[in-house]
């Protein structure tokens, strides 16, 4: 298996000359839970007091939002985090967003998304959902979407730093490790591989040809 990482230690590269900016690029894995559990609870509460929403409707939209997160995760990882710009500024921005994680995959303070990035993204998705679904239906849908994001960030940290023994979790961890250490252009699903199977990115075409 070809190794594409730079360091296998819990360390990383400095991204900013400014100590202030550098501080905000390091995030403890508990931060997404601290920030977004209250958000999820708030939107579930808003759904529960909406007289036009039934319990079945709330549950259905919640799980629909959770499922939609898996698609958003795949698309963001594949087309945003792994976009390869040609300009020097673009390459630097890409390295800050995701390249540093591939060079230092076990940096424990750069495994979850910084709130300065995740909050604007969450707001963007929220208003997109409102435009499509309306405010009432967005509340439980967005709550499920937020849960999906928290599962993603928590699982991403666990896959790099926890000694997982359950066969299912171990398989998913190994699936993500292949993305890091074998082929970064495949296996974009982190919390779920479903969209890799849908879009045919579970393995490179070259590898499939050799194995066939």
pLDDT of residue 65: 98
Residue 84 to residues 50, 75, 191, Cα–Cα distance (Å): 44, 15, 23
* Domain boundaries, given as residue ranges, for the chain: 28-161
Q: How confident is the prediction for the chain on average, in pLDDT?
A: 85
pLDDT band at 210 (very low <50, low <70, confident <90, very high): very low
More reliable by pLDDT, 6 or 118:
118
């Amino acid at each position: 298996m070809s190794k594409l990482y730079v360091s296998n230690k819990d360390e990383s590269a400095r991204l900013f000359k400014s100590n202030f900016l550098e501080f905000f690029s390091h995030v403890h894995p508990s931060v997404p839970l601290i920030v977004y559990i209250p958000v999820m609870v708030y939107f579930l509460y808003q759904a529960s007091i909406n007289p036009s929403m039934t319990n079945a409707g709330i549950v259905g939209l919640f799980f629909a939002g959770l499922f939609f997160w898996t698609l958003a995760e795949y698309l963001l990882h594949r087309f945003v985090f792994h976009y390869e710009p040609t300009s020097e500024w673009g390459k630097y921005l890409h390295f800050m967003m995701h390249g540093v994680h591939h060079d230092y995959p076990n940096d424990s303070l750069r495994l979850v998304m910084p709130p300065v990035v995740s909050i604007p993204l969450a707001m963007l998705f929220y208003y997109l959902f409102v435009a499509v679904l309306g405010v009432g239906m967005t509340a439980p849908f967005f709550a499920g979407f937020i849960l999906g994001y928290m599962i993603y960030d928590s699982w991403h940290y666990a896959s790099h730093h926890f000694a997982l023994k359950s066969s299912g979790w171990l398989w998913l961890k190994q699936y993500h490790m292949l993305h890091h250490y074998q082929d970064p252009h495949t296996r974009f699903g982190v919390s779920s591989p479903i969209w890799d199977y849908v879009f045919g990115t579970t393995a490179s075409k070259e590898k499939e040809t050799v194995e066939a």
